[in-house]
Every structure is written in structure tokens, then in C-alpha cells.
Structure 1
Amino acid sequence: MQSAKSKCNLTEQENGFFDDSLEKDAYIWYEENWQHDDYEHLHQRAQLTFVKEGYQYFHINDKIYLVPQNHVIWVPSLQKHKITSEAETVKLMVSLFKNIPEDYFYSQIHVFPAPPVLKEMILYAKKWNKETAENDEQEAFMNALLISLPHFCDENNALQIPLPSDKRLLEVCQFINQNYQHNHSIEELAEIANLSTRSLQRIFKQETGISIKKYVQLIKILKSIELIDCNQFTLSEIAYKVGYKSLSAFTSSYQAIMNTKPKISKKNIF
């Protein structure tokens, strides 16, 4: 979204709130090369984003959600968010829904891999890219996609990066993010926070819901996804760059987080 401008056929009204005058229930916006502007915003329509190539980070409340290639994120109506990415190219499709079923699922944020059926449905909807006129087929098709989402959702909570509110812990998180390629002891991290090791571990778990060790693992794997995306390194090189001593250790850790083995793939054309 761009300040005081229009994007995805939504126009900023005030204070980052984007609205539209379309009558149709679902609006499709496909981008070959998404341009990020790091702008926090919200809109009345709920949003389903499918990342075909590259990756995106969604910054929402006290968490950052990674949406890798072939994943989707569901963002409820009126949920403030901003989007960032260091990917060289991002190809994605945004579906914006006006009328949402009254179900708890749609009031929560969800990130999950798009199974083949959902992926094909999303790709088929590209035929209505940026169309503003009402269309009976589109309305029926997108409604079917919408009500099927809870059945497609196999959520990967590991793609959520928790952010603590305690400034001492934020300093530790920042240090880990900047030095993920090295393996630091809990004693070193505790010294940064000016806390005992026991206090650091206890407070960190209370604020984020995960251990320091798990947070470090998560950051390493998220950084590896960025390196895999750039297609410049082998998996062995990536393993060492993010601090693993062997490819097998990296593969095991990656699979534990992503539920699949890491692989270098050629860029596909949408």
C-alpha cells in the first residue's frame, strides 16, 4: 500500500485506512513484481495472499509472519499490517473479500502451504485480475474458495516470529537476528540482556511462548529461506552461512520447521 494513493483498487481515506467503492464481493489483484513500501495499513475487506514466487513478511501486532513461496496468508478485516521482503522478485495474488462467513476461522490470522487444489483454484482466478465489473462465475467460484479455506488450512505456527515487549529481550532478539550465522551461548545472550541465564530463559518463554533455543533455530531457518530464494548458493553453502556445521543438521532442522526438506528450485513463470 502507498500513502495517499491507490493499490489493489483500494484508496487511502485517512490514517492508513484503505477503502473501495466496488460492489463485487471478491476482487483479484495479481502482481508479477510486487513493490513493497513498508506502510502499515488496514482495510475493510479481508485479504488472502498467495505467494507464487519469493517470500513476504507480514508485520501484525506483536508477530512477524513469514509467507514463503507456495504459501497463503489470511488477514482478517480491519487488521493493521505492513509487508516487507528482501526477495529480488515477488509474484503473488491478492484476493480481497467483502462478505465473510460468520465463522471463528475468518477472524484469525492463518499462514499455511497451499495444497494443490487450492493453488489451482487461486491460479484459475487470475482470469479476473483487476476486473471491477460484477461477474456471476467469479462470485460463485470465489465464494466456493472462501468457504473451503478452513478445510485447506494445515497451519504451520513455526512461520510466526514472536516479538517480546520487554526491551531487554528485544535487544537479545536483535542480536540474534544480526548474528544468526554464529552460535552464541545462553550465557552470552544473558549478558546482553543484563539478566541471569535462568531469568532470561524464564522471561523469554513467558513473553514469546517459545524458548531461546527455539527462537534461534527459527531465525536460522527463516534466513535460510531468504538465501534459498536468491538462487546463488548450494544447500551446503546455505547450511554453513546460517550456522550449521553440516548439511544433514541443517536439513533436519529445516524439516522440523517447514515440514519438508529444503531444495533449490528453478524460478517458475506464472
Structure 2
Amino acid sequence: MDKLRQKDYFLFASAMYSQPISCSSLVEQATSPFVSFHQRLGCFHSDWHQHEWGQLIYAEKGCIHVNSRTKQILIPSGYGVWIPPDTDHEIRSTSSQTNIRSICFPVADNNGSLRQTISVFPMSTLLREMIRYTNRWNQGPVDEAQATTFLQTVQGLLPEEIDKAVIVYLPSTTHAKLLPITTYIQTHLARPINVQWLASEFGLSVRTLSRLFRQQLGTSFSGYCKIARIMRALELIELGCDNVSQVATDVGYESLATFSNNFLAICGHRPLQFIHSKRLY
């Protein structure tokens, strides 16, 4: 079995043995005005849920996927994601090494920047240590006034963190003609994907297919493929592939320079720089 097939098998097997987690019950059963959750979960999937509190998640190890009704989002290890209040979402991971840290808390009504959209960003050292600190709240009595002040400080830091947001998400669709096409793209990223061939294969004209991508997904066909390939590259890196040339090939790039430039444009780092930075977390 070649390396790419081994990685695909690993992802499939992980999904088959995924443990269910009820995030909604964690919030509903909370006796304090916040929830602090720190656990090595491995492969898991949550229920679809929403809550009145905002949620900050830190992927300490392993990739975490967050799906909203309009986006499929990837959070690489070392990155954080902010989920605004009242956002319907689910959380999952196919990594056996997943270590997740999360805090949920009320958001001030006048903090509009934290009520807009899901954002993924590289965690600063300060915010990373602050979310780790909240694990203490699970180990004994908590001074709620002190915790509230602490979380207000976190809220004050988040807008600056969100300003560093990266585009590691794909727009979602339920469109009857487009859904099978996006599914095909995501499962054949190692192969060249030609818009002319794909349109013909699914019984559409190139013009119609291009229009569907723009109207339904808000992006071009090539833009969708670029983000899908980089997100897949991030998953492969999380699985331990640290050979940049191999990763580029496995996600369908013939040019290493193009792969590196696209990776930089989306993630803010060159692939090798990203791989090296992971060793610091």
C-alpha cells in the first residue's frame, strides 16, 4: 500500500472508531457562568449544537474540524478557533492524538467583533497559556469573580488574535448538482482536476459549473480547489508527513514552488516553516 493510500485508510479507520461527545449537554449542565474543557479525546465527533456563549477552542495536538451550516473548517494543531454565540456547529477529529482545550463563556453585548463569524488563527503564546491556565478550574473550587475578570481579559485579547485569521475553510453546499462535484474534488485531490473534464463528467457546461461555484459557494472553481488542497496538506502534516515535496505531490501539485506560495497565502507560513513551528507546541 503506497503512502497516500495508507493515509487515506488511516483517516477512514479513524472515522469508523470515532467516539461521540455531547457538547450541548456540557453547557446545559454547567453550574458556573463558564465551561472549561481540557481532554485528550483522540478521534471524536460532537452533536450539532449551539449555545448562547462564545467558544474558544485550542487544538493542542491533532487537527480539529468544525462544521457550520455554511463552512467546513480545519484547525491545525497550534491554532485556535473562535465560535461566536448562537452559531450552529459540530466539532470532530480523525486524529488519534487529538488534545483539545476549550472555554465557553458569555460575550459582552457591545463586543461586536466576537459576534460575527467563526475565525481560525495561530494562537499567540499569551492566549495559549491563558487557555491552559483554565484547566485549574476543573481541579477544585473556583473564585467566580476572579474567573469572570480573567475571561474579560481573554475577550479583550481575542479581537487582535482574530485579526490574524487564516482561510482554512471550505464553503458548504446542499445544492443537488454541486454537492457531488465538491465531494468528488475532496476525494480526488491527489489527481489533476480539470474543470472542462469535470463539467463534462457531471453533465454540465464549463460556464454553468463556474457560475454554480460563484453563486452557491462564493468562490471560483480554482479557488475552491486551492483551499481544499492546502487543507488536505495540513491534515497530512498532522499525520506525520514532514517531506514538503511528498505532501505537495500527495495533494495534486506538480510545482513545489506553486504549492509553497499557495500554502503561504492561506496559512501565513511556508510549509517547512509551518512544520518546524509545530515542534514548539
Band of TM-score, shorter chain: 0.7 to 0.9
Residues 93-112 of structure 1 aligned to structure 2 (within 5 Å): 93-108=101-116, 109-112=118-121
> Counterpart amino acid of 1:33?
L
Task: Work out the percentage of aligned pairs sharing the same amino acid.
Answer: 25
Tell me whether 1:79 sits opposite 2:106 in the alignment: no
Corresponding residue number in structure 2 for 1:15:
none
| Structure 1 segments unaligned to the other structure (5+ residues) | 13-17
Corresponding residue number in structure 1 for 2:218:
209
With normalisation by structure 1, the TM-score equals: 0.85
Corresponding residue number in structure 2 for 1:147:
156
Backbone CA RMSD of aligned residues: 2.6
> Counterpart amino acid of 1:11?
S
Tell me whether 1:128 sits opposite 2:142 in the alignment: no
Q: Secondary structure of 2:129's match?
A: helix
Measured after TM superposition, the shift of residue 48 of structure 1 is: 0.9
**1:213-250 Cα shifts (integer Å, max 9, x gaps):** 01111111111111100114512111111111243222
| Structure 2 segments unaligned to the other structure (5+ residues) | 1-18
**1:56-87 Cα shifts (integer Å, max 9, x gaps):** 11111121111112222122223221112222
Corresponding residue number in structure 1 for 2:258:
249
The answer as to whether partners of 2:76 and 2:238 remain within 8 angstroms in 1 is no
Cα 1:171/1:35, change in 2 over 3 Å: closer
Residues 91-240 of structure 1 aligned to structure 2 (within 5 Å): 91-108=99-116, 109-129=118-138, 133-156=142-165, 158-240=167-249
With normalisation by structure 2, the TM-score equals: 0.82
Measured after TM superposition, the shift of residue 135 of structure 1 is: 3.7
Corresponding residue number in structure 2 for 1:258:
267
Corresponding residue number in structure 2 for 1:51:
59
Measured after TM superposition, the shift of residue 129 of structure 1 is: 3.6
**In 1, Cα distance between the equivalents of 2:159 and 2:277?**
31
Tell me whether 1:39 sits opposite 2:79 in the alignment: no
**1:5-35 Cα shifts (integer Å, max 9, x gaps):** 865xx637xxxxx51241x333311113355
The answer as to whether partners of 2:107 and 2:114 remain within 8 angstroms in 1 is no
**In 2, Cα distance between the equivalents of 1:156 and 1:192?**
36
**In 2, Cα distance between the equivalents of 1:266 and 1:104?**
32
